[in-house]
Amino acid sequence: MHSLTSPLHIPAAIRFECTRCAYCCLSWPVPLNETDVKRLTGALAVSEEQLPLSFLSESERQGGLVGFTRALEKRPDGKCSYLIDSGCSLQNLAKPAMCQLFPYTFMDTPAGTFVGLSFASSGVINNSGKLLSEQATELASTLALFRTLFPQLEKETVAGWRAINMAEGVPLSYESYDQLEISLLNDLQQALARQGMTLTKHGTATAILSRFYKLLADRCPTAIWRENLPGSTARPKQIDQILLASFAAAYVDDSQNHKLLDDRLIAEAVSNFLMSPATGLLLPFAGAKFTMAQLLDSASGPLPPACEDLLVRFIYVRIFSKMYFGPGFSQLSLLAGVGHLVLLLSLARLSIKARLLLLKDTEGPDFKVDDDQILLWLTAIIRQVDSKFASARYGANTRAMLEILFLDRERCARLVNLSW
């Protein structure tokens, strides 16, 4: 059971029950430890060679999977080998430990352990079932399983929070972060209570995050900003578009769905574009390619309230569980972590806009799309973005690139404008 000395924090107003949607069985190969392999061979009465397994590489194991040696391979259709029409065929037999954890995440900090959720799950997307705050006993048991799978993680992660930065080279104490986070979580909780009904021009989640970025920016020393660096030849608007195009290819391109995110491709794409600026930058959305001019020619307008509610919940859970900067995500600074979240939200909105443009092309300019259809699109987009985000580990080049590119006070506001 969870130790009393390390409190378990549960996000407010968030619900979950498993709807047996099996989306968790589509996203990525399931990592297995030695106990999983033994249970599988025993329960299925097969040898290890007969199991659909691959070995994890050293770098995959170092990326947070130290105790895991193999992965359950997928079938050619991208589904887990043990997924059948009625769900997981291993459910009461030898369900791997990682699948038992899903969709929960746990983030250890100096102030206790924070619960998060994966938005790959339909139960999470729809906010269905009992409030998490009413499931504290079950959550404590799931945390106990998490502890057995990742015995070293608590100590390492807590230590990692002692070395966080507001921006690259500007240290931040965990206690100061905690103070900053209070107002952000309050804003998000108030927005959740309104269930997406009060929209600002650029959407509730993006407005709240952009405001937070500005608050952080105001606390950073003037000398760090890129525009104040001697010799800077920044082309800020073009770089905004390069960021959107490079991250769109990694996060929302349909052809990349169900593949693990390879952040080297992002860093490579950004640096290639920067070295020889592309004349015809194309953004991949909804199975087609769009120029920025096509996307800018029309405004998508406000999203339906249910979509705003989903975006706010997605951001609230990420912020609450602190899985967006520091030890929570690739050791990004707080400023770059918030900027990265704004970038992903902007991509989600641009993906919707691209789908509206495609439909208007085929059905005519007056064609109206109903709110339920837009919510279905957004659900698929958020599911893909969250799955990529959860499996992403940014290397030194990608981190350095984000740190530099988000040292621009106006970048977040411009990204939000571009996605409107």
Tell me the C-alpha distance between 24 and 38, whole Å. 23
Measuring CA to CA, how many Å separate 251 from each of 125, 266, 308?
A: 18, 10, 20
The nearest distance, CB 46 to ligand SF4, in angstroms, is 15
The nearest distance, CB 323 to ligand SF4, in angstroms, is 21
Are 80 and 72 in contact by the 8 Å Cβ rule? The answer is yes
191 part of the interface to ligand SF4, by CB under 6 A: no
In this complex, which beta carbon is closest to ligand SF4, that of residue 83 or of residue 153? Answer: 83
In this complex, which beta carbon is closest to ligand SF4, that of residue 51 or of residue 185? Answer: 51
The nearest distance, CB 157 to ligand SF4, in angstroms, is 25
- Report the candidate in 97, 100, 126, 123 with the shortest Cα–Cα distance to residue 23: 123
> Site for ligand SF4 (CB under 6 A): which residue of 96, 327, 328, 339?
96
Choose the stretch contacting ligand SF4; rule: CB under 6 A; options: 32-40, 75-83, 125-133, 226-234: 75-83
The nearest distance, CB 388 to ligand SF4, in angstroms, is 17
Measuring CA to CA, how many Å separate 204 from each of 6, 128, 132, 199, 303?
A: 33, 22, 24, 6, 10
In this complex, which beta carbon is closest to ligand SF4, that of residue 82 or of residue 325? Answer: 82
70 part of the interface to ligand SF4, by CB under 6 A: no
> Site for ligand SF4 (CB under 6 A): which residue of 90, 209, 266, 401?
90
Per DSSP, 56 falls in state P
Are 412 and 345 in contact by the 8 Å Cβ rule? The answer is no
> Site for ligand SF4 (CB under 6 A): which residue of 80, 139, 188, 281?
80
In this complex, which beta carbon is closest to ligand SF4, that of residue 99 or of residue 269? Answer: 99
The nearest distance, CB 99 to ligand SF4, in angstroms, is 3
In this complex, which beta carbon is closest to ligand SF4, that of residue 120 or of residue 153? Answer: 120
Choose the stretch contacting ligand SF4; rule: CB under 6 A; options: 54-62, 95-103, 288-296, 393-401: 95-103
> Site for ligand SF4 (CB under 6 A): which residue of 56, 83, 120, 307?
83
Choose the stretch contacting ligand SF4; rule: CB under 6 A; options: 10-18, 89-97, 243-251, 368-376: 89-97
Give me the residues paired with residue 31 across strands.
71
Residues 4-33 that bind ligand SF4 (CB under 6 A): 24-25, 30
The nearest distance, CB 90 to ligand SF4, in angstroms, is 5
Per DSSP, 71 falls in state E
Tell me the C-alpha distance between 327 and 332, whole Å. 8
95 part of the interface to ligand SF4, by CB under 6 A: yes
SS3 28: coil
Helices (H) and strands (E) in the chain, counts: 16, 12
Amino acid at 195: Q
In this complex, which beta carbon is closest to ligand SF4, that of residue 94 or of residue 281? Answer: 94
71 part of the interface to ligand SF4, by CB under 6 A: no
The nearest distance, CB 103 to ligand SF4, in angstroms, is 11
The nearest distance, CB 118 to ligand SF4, in angstroms, is 13
99 part of the interface to ligand SF4, by CB under 6 A: yes
Are 338 and 213 in contact by the 8 Å Cβ rule? The answer is yes
> Site for ligand SF4 (CB under 6 A): which residue of 40, 53, 65, 88?
88
Tell me the C-alpha distance between 106 and 154, whole Å. 10
Q: How many residues does this entry show for the chain?
A: 420
Measuring CA to CA, how many Å separate 182 from each of 53, 80, 187, 322?
A: 44, 40, 9, 12
Are 336 and 342 in contact by the 8 Å Cβ rule? The answer is no
Are 345 and 209 in contact by the 8 Å Cβ rule? The answer is yes
**In this structure, how many other beta carbons lie within 10 angstroms of the beta carbon of residue 205?**
29
**In this structure, how many other beta carbons lie within 10 angstroms of the beta carbon of residue 396?**
10
CA atoms within 13 A on the CB side of 262: 6
326 part of the interface to ligand SF4, by CB under 6 A: no
Report how many residues bind ligand SF4 under the rule CB under 6 A. Answer: 11
What are the residues binding ligand SF4 (CB under 6 A)? 24-25, 30, 80, 82-83, 88, 90, 95-96, 99
